[in-house]
Amino acid sequence: MKRENRSLAFFTMLLLGTAVFLNGCATTGMDRSVKTSKSIEEVDSDIKKISVQIDVTATALDSLIKSAQPDLKKSFGVYSDAVANLESQGNLVIKHIEEMKLRSTKYFAEWEKQGDAYTNPRIRELSEERRKKLAEMYDQVPTAGSGIKLSYLACLTDLKEIQKYLSNDLTPKGIEAVTPVAEKSVQELDSLKASLKPVITALEEIKAELYGGKK
């Protein structure tokens, strides 16, 4: 009787363990899908925020170098805050684009492995077609994002050096001397904003494919 009870208990534990294992596999795939979708939302939100911050920074710098400023210290403070916010937002953009690349790579690799488990050949074929199409679309984001990173780092370096220079010579003459460099930096900010467009396009294509054009 005791042997029968032990056998029943062992069999029950085995079934429970198998169920947990199978459920864990499904959950892993779902978790990766959710995290990958979240990455899209993060990058999309980041791009919108940095686009606004680029305009804010350009306006602050342009205002600072205008002649006859009544309060240079106040204008410099506004510019410094704008540069700090741009740096913070830019770092988030780069971070989230890189995270999206890592998450999507793992997600599609796992999807490819699970595709071999389908016994229905048509479902297996559909799964592979869908995986390849989405993987190619997701790859466009980090590829386009490399342009943002280069423009952002170059632009930020000049903006911070202007800030450093003026912190030592916040005078009308100091403003006049750095104006040509500042005007070039305003143009660099325009170029940075233009570098966002390929990522915006790639994100829009992904959202249209996933949600039928719904935003």
For tokens 């869908």, what's the residue? 130
The lowest-confidence range among 112-116, 144-148, 209-213 is: 209-213
The lowest-confidence range among 13-22, 45-54, 74-83, 139-148 is: 13-22
DSSP classification of residue 189: H
Q: Among residues 30, 35, 67, which one has the least CA distance to residue 171? A: 67
Would you state the pLDDT for residue 51? 96
Q: Which CATH number fits domain 36-211: 1.20.1420, 2.40.70, 1.10.287, 1.10.1740?
A: 1.20.1420
Would you state the pLDDT for residue 8? 41
CA neighbours closer than 13 Å in the CB half-sphere of residue 167: 10
Please state, in angstroms and as integers, the Cα–Cα distance from residue 39 to each residue in 32, 63, 138, 143, 205, following that order. 10, 36, 11, 15, 15
DSSP classification of residue 214: -
3-state secondary structure of 66: coil
The lowest-confidence range among 2-16, 81-95, 191-205 is: 2-16
pLDDT in tens, 81-103: 999 999 999 999 999 999 888 88
Helix (H) or strand (E) holding 75: helix 72-115
3-state secondary structure of 67: coil
Q: Which amino acid does the sequence have at 208?
A: A
Would you state the pLDDT for residue 67? 64
Token pair, residue 119, equals 């016994």
Token pair, residue 32, equals 């990766």
Domain ranges of the chain: 36-211
Is the pTM above the cut of 0.85? no
pLDDT in tens, 17-47: 333 333 444 445 566 666 677 778 889 999 9
Contact status, residue 78 vs residue 66, Cβ threshold 8 Å:
no
Token pair, residue 35, equals 């995290």
Contact status, residue 99 vs residue 35, Cβ threshold 8 Å:
no
pLDDT in tens, 143-170: 888 889 999 999 999 999 999 999 999 9
